[in-house]
Chain A
Amino acid sequence: EPEVTQTPSHQVTQMGQEVILRCVPISNHLYFYWYRQILGQKVEFLVSFYNNEISEKSEIFDDQFSVERPDGSNFTLKIRSTKLEDSAMYFCASRDGLAGEVGELFFGEGSRLTVL
C-alpha cells in the first residue's frame, strides 16, 4: 500500500540552527501539506502546496519557514533559524486531486523536532 514517508523520525538541534524535514508523498498525489503538533496540543495546519506553489499558509508559517518540492518527489520543510517553540511533531500529508471529490489526507509517521 502506498504511503507517505518522512525523514528524519527525530531530530535534535540547537536554537538558531537550520533544519530541513523531508517527506516523500504518495506518487500520484497533487496536494501536499505540513502540519505540526506541539506535545499535548492539537494538530495545526502550517502550509499547503499545489502546482509547485504555496496555496495557503497559516500565521504560524512565518518567514522562518519555507517549503520546496525540488525534484518532483521530495517535499521539504525548512526552518531557517529554529526557536525553542518550534519543538513539535511535524506531519507531512498528501492527497490526490480527483475532480469533485475530497480525498483523504495520507499522513506520514511524523518527524519529531526537539530544539535545545
Chain B
Amino acid sequence: AQSVTQLDSHVSVSEGTPVLLRCNYSSSYSPSLFWYVQHPNKGLQLLLKYTSAATLVKGINGFEAEFKKSETSFHLTKPSAHMSDAAEYFCVVSPIAGKSTFGDGTTLTVKP
C-alpha cells in the first residue's frame, strides 16, 4: 500500500523568497517519488523525480527536492520564488508497476 500527504493545502510567499512545499509518503517498498506542477487550465508537468539514485534531486525552473528515508519525506524547495511559479503542485508516489498515487496538492501563491 502507498499514500502521500501534502502537509499544506496553500502556501503563500513573496517573490524572491524561498519556497518550501512539504510532502510525506508511506510505502511498503522503496518508492519512486515525483513532483508535478499544474498551471491554471493546463496539464501536469514533471518538475523532478527521485528513483533511488541521489537523494538530492534537481528539477526544472530551479526546484529541488530531498528524499529523506528516515523522515519519509520528499519536500520541494526553491531558493527564490518567481511570479510564474504560482500553480498547483502535486507530490506523487509510484511503484515499479501499477498506479501512481497523488497527494491532495498544494496551491502556491506568489505575492509581488
Q: Are A102's CB and B51's CB within 8 A?
A: yes
Asked whether A43 is an interface residue with its Cβ less than 8 Å from the other chain, the reply is yes
Q: Chain A residue with minimal CB distance to B33?
A: A102
Residues of chain A contacted by B99 (CB below 8 angstroms): 33, 45, 48, 56, 58
Interface residues of B in 88-102 (CB under 8 A from A): 90, 92, 94-102
Interface size class of A (residues with CB under 8 A): 20 to 34
Judge whether B43 and A109 touch: CB under 8 Å: yes
A55 to B94, CA, bound (A): 15
Known: A100-B96, A102-B95, A102-B96. A42 touches B104 (CB 8 A): yes
**Given A55-B97, A102-B51, A105-B94, A91 and B104 touching (CB < 8 A)?**
no
- Is A101 in contact with B51, judged by CB distance below 8 angstroms? yes
A residues less than 8 Å from B102 (CB atoms): 35, 42-45
Residues of B within 8 A of A (CB): 32, 34, 36, 42-46, 49, 51, 90, 92, 94-105
Contact A48 B98 (CB under 8 A): yes
Q: Is A75 an interface residue (CB 8 A)?
A: no
A-B CB contact pairs (8 Å), 15 listed: A31-B97, A35-B102, A42-B104, A43-B90, A45-B100, A48-B99, A100-B96, A101-B51, A104-B34, A105-B34, A105-B44, A107-B36, A107-B44, A109-B42, A109-B43
- Report the minimum CB–CB distance from A111 to chain B (whole Å): 10
Q: How far is the CB of B49 from chain A (nearest CB, A)?
A: 5
Chain B residue contacts of A106, Cβ below 8 A:
46
Q: Give residues 58-116 of A contacting B (CB, 8 Å).
A: 58, 91, 93, 100-102, 104-110
Instruction: Evaluate contact between B105 and A102: CB separation under 8 angstroms.
Output: no
Cross-chain contact A50 with B97 (CB below 8 angstroms): yes
